[in-house]
Amino acid sequence: MKPLEGIKVIELATFVAVPTVGKFLADQGAEVIKIEAKNGDPYRFAAAAEWRSPSPYENTSFDLDNGGKKGIILNLKDPKGKEALFKLLEGADIFLTNWRQKALAKQNLTYEDLHEKFPKMIFADCSGYGDVGPEKDLPGYDFTCFWAKSGAEGSLRDKNSRPMNLVPGFGDHVAGFALVGGVLAAYIKAQKTGIGERVTTSLLHTSIFSQAVMIQSEQYPQYGESFPISYKKLNNPFNSAYRTADDRYFQTCVPAFNLFFPKVMETIGREDLAHEPKYLIESISENDLYEEFMGILEEAFAKKTAAEWDKIFTEADIPHSICLTYKELLTDPQVDAIGVFQKMNYPTNPEIKVARQPVTIGGKLADFERGPLLGEHTEEVLRGIGYSDAELAEMHAAGVYNTWEDLKEKLNG
């Protein structure tokens, strides 16, 4: 038995952050019903921007956050469609949405609206900037809220270069898993008290919390420079990436700089400096020796290949890693050993690898399942809440709902 079997979830959300929550709940046994408009979640159609297959039968990005859900199409502008939504909510334990507050208010779907009707149901949402303040009504995506507004993109770049290239979904997944924790905590409370609460987070807050170590340190300018900084001025030169003889980058991580200083210097072949007090971290900071010391490290690492350093640092038991590429991850032995990827038997490509969510329960990772085709389960779900075949036929003819059969010819074209 999966941990969340018996829990019913209604999801009215698009793109990545909130669907991540629904995917986690579905992976753990909850029945998750995803409601879409006739045009579908826009993320279904992002293939061209992500360099992947456009086939609806091999929708790897959409499936990443929607696998295992049931998918239905409802026209919520039609009173019959709204009626069907409320019938679904009658039996729901959790409601997930990323609609902005104005849109929820227009449809009478705010927390206050729904809590009055369904007092035990958990209402969970994620916004870009939060639901108060001057930017609360702005559209928000992880590129803008999680990366740019939060300081990550502007601060973590090297001072002399442009910001790093970003990838879709990075910040959304972090925020999604933050919301998962809140949803489950509120659900446990609701089982004890009978009262469901609103659970919310934002991409902005999640990103700032994730970077809080150095953001908080910005309040102490007397101890270091403000970001962005040159990589040659990093506060701990042992926590940096160095170019190797084969033009790779080798990342080291030694937080206790002084304690491990002799060992690191011996490991990189600079035994002559292993007991040199000039290069202890206080001296480096007080005398502004960052560039000088980084030059010593750069010269040392440039003498061997990344693979050679990997072997040397492994034997010395010093935390490190070769900076891998995405392509290398797909065949990395350690990644394979912990079961990150699963081969998905898509009808269009039976060998494609997809990433499982990173949570093991009872020693097992949840298997990756495909997401619903647009409107695939509409009639099944509506029958399940009491609609007769005659009622369905009338609603279908009136455009209250659609099915995959209505749309597949257009979407396959």
Domain boundaries, the chain: 8-209+338-412, 249-322
137, 158, 172, 272: which one is catalytic?
172
Q: Which pLDDT tens digit goes with each residue over 293-325?
A: 999 999 999 999 999 999 999 999 999 999 999
Q: What are phi and psi of 72, to 5 degrees?
A: -130, 155
Non-local (6+) Cβ contacts of 385 within 8 A are: 84, 87, 88, 90, 91
How far apart CA 57 and CA 124 sit, in angstroms, is 30
How would DSSP label each residue in 133-196? STTTTS---IIIIIIIITSHHHHSS-TTSPPPPP-TTHHHHHHHHHHHHHHHHHHHHHHHHS--
Q: Confirm if 109 and 24 have CB atoms less than 8 A apart.
A: no
Q: Which residues of the chain have pLDDT under 70?
A: 413
CATH classification code of 8-209+338-412? 3.40.50.10540
Task: Kindly report, residue by residue over 190-210, the tens digit of the pLDDT.
Answer: 999 999 999 999 999 999 999
pLDDT in tens, 236-277: 999 999 999 999 999 999 999 999 999 999 999 999 999 999
Chain Cα centroid distance, residue 125: 15
Pairwise CA distance, residues 19 & 41, whole Å:
10
Q: Other C-beta atoms within 10 Å of 413: how many?
A: 5
Rounded distance between C-alpha atoms, residue 394 and residue 243, angstroms: 67
* 243 DSSP β-pair partners: 249
310 is catalytic: no
Q: In a 10 Å sphere around its CB, with 0-12 CB exposed, 13-18 middle and 19+ buried, how is residue 35 labelled?
A: buried
DSSP structural state of residue 197:
-
* pTM summary value: 0.95
Cβ-in-10-Å burial (0-12, 13-18, 19+) of 125 comes to buried
